[in-house]
C-alpha cells in the first residue's frame, strides 16, 4: 500500500480511537483525492479498517468507490454498502459528514432505481434506523423510501413508517430540507391513495398544502387545475349525468395527469352518495324506483350497488328479492356494549398520551435558554405582561 | 436462487410469505404463491400491485400465474359465480391447489355471511350462484341450518346470524380506568 494511504489508515485508526471527531471529519474531507487516485488499493484499505470502530473511514472509501463513473463489480460493492449500513456506528455517522452518508445512499439508489428499485428498500430501512434517535423522528431518507416503494409498486415495506405519527425531525447537521418533508407527505399521500385509504391520504396531502408559503403558490396553481375544480363543483350538484359529461369533457387532462382511475371512483362514489341520501327520505323503496332516482341502468344494477354497500358497511339495509324492495335500517349500534366501551377506552388513552407528549415538548421549550432569552427580551419591550403563547 | 420462508403471525394467526430474491426478481412459482396468498387474505390492494410489478415476460410465459390472476380479477369485481368458475377452470399445481381450495371455502363462507346479512328473501338460483353449489345442494344446506325455503316461489329466507360473543372487561379494571380519566380531565 502506498505510504500516503498507510498514513491515512493510521490517522483514521488513531483519531477514531481517541474520539477526535472534528479532526477525523477534517481528515476525511481532505482525503477524497488521495483515495480516488488509489482505486486499486481501496480494498486493502477497507481490509485494514473496522466498520464499527472506523465507520467514517470506511464511509469515505465506499463513497469514493461509488463515485467512479465505472463500477466493475456492482454486486460486491452493493453488499459492502449493505454490510456497512447495518453495522456502522450510528453515533459517528450522526456526528460527522451526514451529507457524505446520504450521498452514498442516493448514489446506490440511482443505480437501482430503474432496474430493481425493490432492492434498495433494505438499505434505506437500515439507514433510517441508524439515523433516527427514536422511531417517531422524520429523516430525509423517509421520502426516498416512499419514492422507491412507489417506483417499485410495493408498499408493504414503507407502511410501518407511514403509520407512525412523526413528532420530530432529524436535523442531519443542516442537510435536512423542507423539500424532504414535503416529498415524504406527498409520496405518502400517493401511497395511501393507491391503497384506497383516502382519509389518511387526504391528511398527508394537507400537510403538504398547509405550509404558509405553499398557500401563496396555491393561488397561482388554481387556474391550472380548472378541470378538477369544475369536477368538484359538478359533484356537489349530485347529478350523475352532469358529472359524466364533465368527466368526458376533460378526459384528456385526466388521462395526461394519470388520474383517470381516481376520476372513475368519483363517479361511482356519487351513485353511492345518492343512494345514501335516499335513506333520509325513505324507509323502504323498490329497486326499480331506486334505479330511476339514482340514474342507474335498472333494478339489477341497483341491487348490486346496495349489496356492495352493505358488505362495505356503507349502508344499513336489507334486500327483499320477493317484492323487489330495499328496506333501510338505522345503524344497529346502540353504543351500549363492551366493544364500544373498549373503543372509547382506546381513544381516551391516545388523547392522554398525546397530552403528555405535548406537555413534555412544552417543558423542553420553556427551559431552552434561547427561548428564555428571547421571551425575556420581548417582555422588556412590552409594557404590559405578555401571556405565553404556549400555556 | 431465491430464499423463501413461511412466517406465521401468532397474533392474527395468519401466514405471510416472506421472500427475498437477489436481483429483485422471483421465480414464477414464487409470484404465483404470493399472489394466491394475497387473494386468500382478501388483500386485493397488495394483490393488484403485485400483479403490476411482475415483469411482463414472466406473465406471458406462465399459464398458472395468469390463471391465479384471473381468479383475482373475479374477486376484485365481487363476481361470486365467476370466482368459483375461475377456480374450477384450471388444473392447479400441487403448490397452489391447497390454497385455491382454501380460497374457495373462504369465498363460500363470505357468501353465506353476506346473503344472511343483506337479504330477507332471495331467489334460490341467485343464492346457489352466490355459494357455488347446485340449487338443490345449496337449499338443502341452509335449511338444515334453520333458513326457510319456499319451493312454490323458489325463494330462500335467510336466518340472521347470531351476534359475536362479547368479551367482558373485569370491573376493577374498568373502575381503575375511570379513575384515570377523571384524574386526567380534572388537571
pLDDT value of position B18: 40
Q: Is B183 part of the contact surface with chain A (CB cutoff 8 Å)?
A: no
Q: Dihedral (C-alpha) B122, B123, B129, B135: value to the nearest 10 degrees?
A: 120
pLDDT of B140: 93
B79 and chain A in contact, CB less than 8 A: no
- What is the ipTM score, two decimals? 0.85
Select the residue from B118, B153, B176 to test the A interface by mutation, using most A Cβ atoms within 10 A: B118
Q: How confident is the model at residue B5 (pLDDT cuts 50, 70, 90)?
A: very low
Q: How far is the alpha carbon of A325 from chain B, nearest alpha carbon, in Å?
A: 10
Contact A207, A185 (CB under 8 A): yes
Most confident of A287-296, A368-377, B8-17, B48-57: A287-296
Quickly tell me which residue has 465505472 as its cell. A70
Q: Which one, of A71, A73, A113, lies nearest residue B24 by Cα?
A: A113
Q: Which residues of A have a CB under 8 Å from any CB of B?
A: 115-119, 152-156, 194-196, 306-308, 310-311, 317-323, 327, 337-339, 341-342, 345, 348, 352, 355
H/E element holding B59?
helix B56-61
Distance CA B9, CA A169 (A): 32
State which H helix or E strand residue B16 sits in: strand B14-20
Q: Identify which has the larger pLDDT, A105 or B148.
A: B148
Among the residue ranges A29-33, B21-25, B52-56, B71-75, the one predicted with the least confidence is: B21-25
The least confident of A176-190, A328-342, B82-96 is A328-342
Q: Angle CA(A106)–CA(A4)–CA(A18) in degrees, nearest 5?
A: 75
Per the model's pLDDT, the better-predicted residue between B142 and A26 turns out to be B142
Pairing type for strands A137-138 and A168-169 reads parallel
- How many Cβ atoms are within 10 Å of A291's Cβ, its own excluded? 18
Instruction: Report the residue from B114, B168, B184 with minimal CB separation from A338.
Output: B168
Q: Which of A185-194, A337-346, B97-106, B118-127 has the lowest mean pLDDT?
A: A337-346
Interface mutation vs chain B, best among A307, A327, A340, most B CBs within 10 Å: A307
Looking at every residue in chain A, the average pLDDT score rounds to 87
Lowest mean per-residue pLDDT among A31-40, A80-89, A103-112, A271-280 = A103-112
Please give the helix or strand (H or E) that residue B30 lies within, else none: helix B28-40
pLDDT at A379: 65
Residues of A in contact with B158 (CB under 8 A): none
Residue B11 contacts A, CB cutoff 8 Å: no
Q: Which DSSP category does B165 fall into?
A: P
* pLDDT value, residue A134: 87
pLDDT of A383 above 70: no
Interchain contact, B153 vs A156, CB within 8 Å: no
User: Residue B36 is inside which H or E element, if any?
Assistant: helix B28-40
CA-nearest residue to B184 within chain A is: A352
Average pLDDT over residues A92-98: 72
Query: Which positions 81-120 of B are in contact with A (Cβ < 8 Å)?
Result: 114, 117-120
User: Does the CB of B78 have a partner CB in chain A at under 8 Å?
Assistant: yes
**Residues of chain A positioned with their CB less than 8 A from the CB of B23:** 116, 119
Mean pLDDT across A158-178: 87
By C-alpha distance, which of B8, B53, B81, B48 is closest to B68? B48
The whole-number average pLDDT for the span B134-149 is 93
pLDDT at A275 over 50: yes
Q: What is the pLDDT of residue A51?
A: 87
CB B67 within 8 A of CB B90: yes
Report pLDDT for A212.
Answer: 62
Phi-psi region of B81 (alpha: psi -120 to 50; beta: other; left: phi over 0): alpha
Q: How far is A319 from chain B (nearest CA, A)?
A: 5
Kindly indicate the confidence band of residue B24, based on its pLDDT and cuts at 50, 70 and 90. Answer: low
B45 to A341: CB separation less than 8 angstroms, yes or no: no
Of these ranges, A48-57, A120-129, B110-119, the one predicted with the greatest mean pLDDT is B110-119
Quote the pTM value: 0.84
Burial class of A279 by CB neighbour count within 10 A (0 to 12, 13 to 18, 19+): middle
| Mean pLDDT calculated for residue range B69-74 | 97
Q: What's the 3-state SS for chain A?
A: CCHHHHHHHHHHHHHHHHCCHHHHHHHHHHCHHHHHHCHHHHHHHHHHCCCCCCHHHHHHHHHHHHHCCCCCCHHHHHHHHHHHHHHCCHHHHHHCCHHHHHHHHHHHHHHHHCCCHHHHHHHHHHHHHHHCCCCCEECHHHHHHHHHHHHHCCCCCCHHHHCCCCCEECCHHHCCCHHHHHHHHHHHHHHHHHCCCHHHHHHHHHHHHCCHHHHHHHHHHHHHHHHHHHHHHHHCCCCHHHHHHHHHHCHHHHHHCCCHHHHHHHHHHHHHHHHHHHHHHCCEEEHHHHHHHHCCCCHHHHHHHHHHHHHCCCCCEEEECCCCEEEECCCCCCCCCHHHHHHHHHHHHHHHHHHHHHHHHHHHHHCCHHHHHHHHHHHHHCCCCCCCCCC
Chain A interface includes B148 (CB < 8 A) = no
Q: Is B24 an interface residue toward A (CB < 8 Å)?
A: yes
B187 half-sphere exposure, CB direction, 13 A CA radius: 10
Among B residues 26-45, those touching chain A with beta carbons less than 8 Å apart? 45
pLDDT given at position A215: 65
Q: Which of B23, B24, B123 to mutate to test the interface with A (most CBs of A within 10 A)?
A: B24
B98's grid cell: 391447497
**B54 three-class SS:** coil
CB–CB of A320 and B120 under 8 A? yes
- Beta strand A284-286 with B14-20 is unpaired
The answer to whether B180 faces chain A, any CB pair under 8 Å, is: yes
From A146-160, A215-229, A304-318, B111-125, the region with the lowest mean pLDDT = A215-229
Rounded distance between C-alpha atoms, residue B15 and residue A333, angstroms: 32
**pLDDT reading at B9 higher than 50:** no
Predicted confidence at residue B149, as pLDDT, reads 94
**pLDDT value for A301:** 96
Once rounded to an integer, what is the mean pLDDT over residues A305-310? 97
pLDDT tens per residue, range B147-158: 999 999 999 999
Alpha carbon separation from B99 to A25, B87, B108 (Å, rounded):
56, 11, 14
Residue A391 has pLDDT above 50, yes or no: no
pLDDT at residue A390 in the model: 47
Q: Average model confidence (pLDDT) for chain B?
A: 84
Are A320 and B121 an interchain contact pair (Cβ–Cβ within 8 Å)? yes
Give A211's pLDDT tier (boundaries 50, 70, 90). low
Least Cα distance to A192 among A177, A179, A207 occurs for: A207
Among residues of chain A, what percentage have pLDDT more than 70? Answer: 93
- Alpha-carbon distance B35 to nearest alpha carbon in chain A (angstroms): 13
- Show residues of chain A in contact with B121, CB under 8 Å: 320-323
Amino acid at each position: 500500500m502506498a505510504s500516503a494511504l498507510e498514513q491515512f489508515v493510521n490517522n483514521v485508526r488513531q483519531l477514531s480511537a481517541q474520539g477526535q471527531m472534528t479532526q477525523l471529519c477534517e481528515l476525511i474531507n481532505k482525503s477524497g483525492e488521495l483515495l480516488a487516485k488509489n482505486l486499486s488499493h481501496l480494498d486493502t484499505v477497507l481490509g485494514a479498517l473496522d466498520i464499527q470502530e472506523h465507520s467514517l473511514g470506511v464511509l469515505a472509501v465506499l463513497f469514493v468507490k461509488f463515485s467512479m463513473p465505472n463500477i466493475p463489480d456492482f454486486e460486491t460493492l452493493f453488499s459492502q454498502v449493505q454490510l456497512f449500513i447495518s453495522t456502522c456506528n450510528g453515533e459517528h455517522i450522526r456526528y460527522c459528514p451526514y451529507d457524505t452518508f446520504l450521498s452514498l445512499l442516493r448514489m446506490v439508489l440511482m443505480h437501482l432505481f430503474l432496474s430493481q428499485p425493490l432492492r434498495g428498500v433494505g438499505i434505506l430501512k437500515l439507514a433510517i434506523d441508524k439515523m433516527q434517535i427514536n422511531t417517531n423522528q422524520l429523516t430525509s431518507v423517509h421520502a426516498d423510501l416512499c419514492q422507491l416503494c412507489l417506483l417499485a409498486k410495493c408498499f408493504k415495506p414503507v407502511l410501518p413508517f407511514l403509520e407512525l405519527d412523526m413528532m420530530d425531525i432529524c436535523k442531519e447537521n443542516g442537510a435536512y430540507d423542507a423539500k424532504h418533508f414535503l416529498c415524504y407527505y406527498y409520496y405518502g399521500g400517493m401511497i395511501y391513495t393507491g391503497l384506497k385509504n383516502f382519509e389518511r391520504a387526504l391528511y398527508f396531502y394537507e400537510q403538504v398544502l398547509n405550509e404558509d408559503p405553499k398557500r401563496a403558490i396555491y393561488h397561482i396553481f388554481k387556474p391550472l387545475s380548472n378541470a378538477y375544480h369544475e369536477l368538484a363543483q359538478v359533484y356537489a350538484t349530485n347529478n350523475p349525468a352532469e358529472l359524466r359529461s364533465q368527466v368526458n369533457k376533460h378526459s384528456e387532462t385526466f388521462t395526461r395527469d394519470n388520474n383517470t382511475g381516481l376520476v372513475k371512483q368519483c363517479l361511482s362514489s356519487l351513485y353511492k352518495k345518492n343512494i345514501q341520501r335516499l335513506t333520509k327520505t325513505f324507509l323502504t323503496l323498490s329497486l326499480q324506483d331506486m334505479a330511476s332516482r339514482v340514474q342507474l341502468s335498472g333494478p339489477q344494477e341497483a341491487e348490486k350497488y346496495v349489496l356492495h354497500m352493505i358488505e362495505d358497511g356503507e349502508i344499513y339495509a336489507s334486500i327483499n328479492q320477493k317484492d323487489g324492495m330495499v328496506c333501510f335500517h338505522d345503524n344497529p349500534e346502540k353504543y351500549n356494549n363492551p366493544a364500544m366501551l373498549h373503543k372509547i377506552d382506546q381513544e381516551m388513552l391516545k388523547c392522554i398520551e398525546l397530552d403528555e407528549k405535548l406537555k413534555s415538548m412544552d417543558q423542553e421549550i420553556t427551559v431552552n435558554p434561547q427561548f428564555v432569552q428571547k421571551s425575556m427580551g420581548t417582555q422588556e419591550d412590552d409594557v404590559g405582561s405578555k401571556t405565553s403563547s404556549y400555556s | 436462487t431465491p430464499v423463501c420462508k413461511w412466517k406465521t403471525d401468532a397474533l392474527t394467526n395468519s401466514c405471510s410469505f416472506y421472500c427475498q430474491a437477489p436481483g429483485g426478481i422471483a421465480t414464477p412459482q414464487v409470484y404465483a404463491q404470493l399472489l394466491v396468498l394475497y387473494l386468500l387474505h382478501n388483500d386485493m390492494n397488495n394483490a393488484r400491485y403485485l400483479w403490476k410489478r411482475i415483469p411482463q415476460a414472466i406473465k406471458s410465459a406462465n399459464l398458472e400465474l395468469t390463471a391465479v390472476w384471473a381468479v383475482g380479477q373475479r374477486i376484485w369485481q365481487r363476481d361470486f359465480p365467476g370466482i368459483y368458475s375461475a377456480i374450477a377452470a384450471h388444473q392447479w399445481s400441487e403448490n397452489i391447489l391447497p390454497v385455491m381450495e382454501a380460497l374457495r371455502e373462504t369465498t363460500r363462507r363470505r357468501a353465506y355471511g353476506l346473503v344472511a346479512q343483506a337479504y330477507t328473501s332471495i331467489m334460490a338460483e341467485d343464492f346457489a350462484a352466490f355459494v357455488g353449489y347446485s340449487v338443490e345442494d345449496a337449499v338443502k344446506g341452509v335449511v338444515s341450518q334453520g333458513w326457510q325455503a319456499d319451493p312454490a316461489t323458489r325463494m330462500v329466507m335467510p336466518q340472521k346470524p347470531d351476534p359475536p360473543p362479547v368479551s367482558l372487561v373485569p370491573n376493577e379494571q374498568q373502575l381503575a380506568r375511570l379513575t384515570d380519566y377523571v384524574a386526567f380531565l380534572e388537571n
